[in-house]
């Protein structure tokens, strides 16, 4: 939350934190549904591979910074 506050424009800190919370709550809603649908359709293997791919992508993006 502090990173969002410090990197947002001076008069838009509240809006930036609102967008952060909206995205956070949306992922808490959508990720279990998508994981459950993938697990039901294809088994649990693709769910783990998708999770591993997301973690690898995040590590690559963070390594650039």
CA angle 59–31–55, rounded 5-degree value = 10
pTM metric for this prediction: 0.63
What DSSP character marks residue 65?
A: -
Residue with tokens 């959508």: 30
| pLDDT, tens digit, 9 for 90 and up, residues 43-62 | 989 889 988 999 999 999 99
Does the pLDDT value for residue 65 go beyond 80? Answer: no
Contacts of 38 (CB under 8 A, 6+ apart): 46, 47, 50
């Amino acid at each position: 939350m502090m990173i969002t506050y410090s990197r947002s424009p001076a008069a838009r800190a509240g809006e930036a934190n609102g967008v952060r919370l909206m995205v956070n709550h949306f992922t808490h809603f959508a990720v279990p549904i998508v994981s459950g649908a993938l697990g039901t359709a294809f088994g649990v293997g693709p769910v783990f591979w998708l999770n591993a791919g997301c973690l690898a992508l995040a590590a690559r993006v963070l390594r650039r910074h």
